[in-house]
Amino acid sequence: MYLATDNSTRPIVQLVGEINHSDFRDAVSLLQADCELVGQTVSSPELIVAAQARPGTICRHEIERLRRQAPLAGAVALLGSWCEGETRTGRPWPGVERQYWYEFPAWWRRQMALRATGRCPDWARPPDFGFRIADFGLRTELCRKSGLIILRIARRETADALADVFHRAGYATAWQPPGTSAVRVRGAVAGIWEGGQLDDSESADLAAFCRQIAGDRAPVVALLDFPRRDRVARALEIGAASVLGKPWLNTDLLATLQTLANKTDLARAA
Q: Do residues 178 and 215 both lie within one domain?
A: yes
Cβ atoms of 41 and 74 closer than 8 Å: no
Cβ atoms of 74 and 46 closer than 8 Å: yes
Cβ atoms of 3 and 72 closer than 8 Å: yes
Q: Do residues 107 and 157 both lie within one domain?
A: no
Q: Do residues 113 and 208 both lie within one domain?
A: no
CA–CA dist 245, 228 (Å, integer): 9
Q: Do residues 38 and 69 both lie within one domain?
A: yes
**CA quadruple 101, 105, 106, 109: dihedral positive or negative?**
positive
| Identity at 81, one-letter amino acid code | S
pLDDT at residue 102 above 70? yes
Query: Rounded to 5 degrees, what are φ and ψ at 174?
Result: -135, 125
CA–CA dist 64, 150 (Å, integer): 45
Q: Which domain holds residue 46?
A: 12-131
* Cα separations in angstroms, 61 against 78, 93, 94: 17, 9, 11
Q: What is the overall mean pLDDT for the chain?
A: 83
pLDDT tens track for 13-45: 999 999 999 999 999 999 999 999 987 666 689
Q: Do residues 162 and 218 both lie within one domain?
A: yes
pLDDT tens track for 128-174: 544 444 444 445 554 555 789 999 999 999 999 999 999 988 999 99
Q: pTM (2 decimals)?
A: 0.71
